[in-house]
Amino acid sequence: MITHHVRMPQLGRERTIRILFPKAYFKYPERRFPVMYMQDGQNLFDHHTAFNRAWGLREVMDALPYSKQFIIVGIDNGHGHRAAEYVPKNVRRATAEGEAYVDFMIHELKPRVDLSYRTLGDRDHTMICGSSLGGLISFYAATRHSHIFGRAAIFSPSFWMMPEVLQIPDGPRSKMYIVGSQTESKGMRFMLQQAYWSLKRAGWNDDWFRVVIKDRGRHNEAFWGRNFRQMAMWLMDE
């Protein structure tokens, strides 16, 4: 894993980027790899930098078959700016900066990653992932910028912060995996059901998305990390 510090000109800030290369990247030097852009990068790999505990994605990636492995680009959250950056629009929050944040991923970060590493840069191999508010902005990006992000993994999304995100516009359809637990927060089951029917109304085929409601699980990194492998195996299945 390597770490970069990059400028975010759209927001006038700097940010730490943590890039995890799978074992297959070194075993097959002639191959190019899909890339998953993930929110809350400091929570993904290392317990020492995580808010609570890390997702444990080094170990999860090592355990995946080589054919399913991909590069993870973890974007650290902005601490005090996190809520603003992860909410595209909100009538209660005038400082919502989500669109500018997505613009940073598309026009600054992705070109840099594609230029520097052996990536598959087309939409079918460009993924986005996040949890909680990070799930909200990832869902937004996958449904409003689906010409860039062809696959998405959404964990415990905070749809309540912007319910209108479920009013999905026309456009290319991303392959999408959404997961949460009915015990993690009040209303999560209802919002996940709303997401399912919103995608159906927008023309998503059942073969191209999953909405998984677990019986148990807390709203934390341990729950999301436990469910990452199942998501990755399905999302990477051609």
The 10s digit of each residue's pLDDT in 62-95 is 999 999 999 999 999 999 899 999 998 765 656 7
Query: Which position has the token pair 């991909």?
Result: 70
Query: How many CB atoms lie under 10 A from the CB of residue 81?
Result: 16
CATH number of 2-235: 3.40.50.1820
For the chain, which residues make up each domain, given as ranges?
A: 2-235
Q: Look at the chain and count its residues.
A: 238
The 10s digit of each residue's pLDDT in 1-19 is 899 999 999 999 999 999 9
Identify which of 162, 90, 157, 89 has the alpha carbon closest to the alpha carbon of residue 128.
Answer: 157
> Running DSSP on this structure, what letter comes out for residue 119?
B
Banded model confidence at residue 102, pLDDT cuts 50, 70, 90: very high
Residue 47 predicted with pLDDT over 80: yes
Query: Which position has the token pair 């148990």?
Result: 216
DSSP H or E segment with residue 111 = helix 110-116
Within 13 Å, how many C-alpha atoms sit on residue 8's CB side?
23
Residue 35 predicted with pLDDT over 60: yes
C-beta separation of 10 from 4 below 8 A = no
pLDDT at site 94: 60
